[in-house]
Amino acid sequence: MNRFIQLLDRKREENARYDYTKRRRQDRLHCMPSELQFSTLLQGVPIDYYDPDFSNRLQPQLCSKITNKSIALLPDIEQTFTHGQDERLGDKAFMHKYGEEVLARYKLDDLSDVESEEISVDEEDLNEMEL
Residue 53 backbone phi and psi in degrees, to 5: -60, -40
What is d(CA 75, CA 105) in angstroms, rounded to the nearest whole number? 11
DSSP state of 28: P
Q: What's the confidence (pLDDT) of residue 20?
A: 63
pLDDT at 119 over 50: no
Q: Is 22 helix (H, G, I), strand (E, B) or coil?
A: coil
Q: What's the confidence (pLDDT) of residue 23?
A: 52
Q: What's the confidence (pLDDT) of residue 103?
A: 93
At 68-115, the pLDDT tens digits run 889 999 988 888 888 889 999 999 999 999 999 999 999 887 665 555
What is d(CA 73, CA 4) in angstroms, rounded to the nearest whole number? 8
Q: What's the confidence (pLDDT) of residue 118?
A: 44
Query: Please, is 26 exposed, middle or buried when counting C-beta atoms within 10 Å of its C-beta (0-12, 13-18, 19+)?
Result: exposed
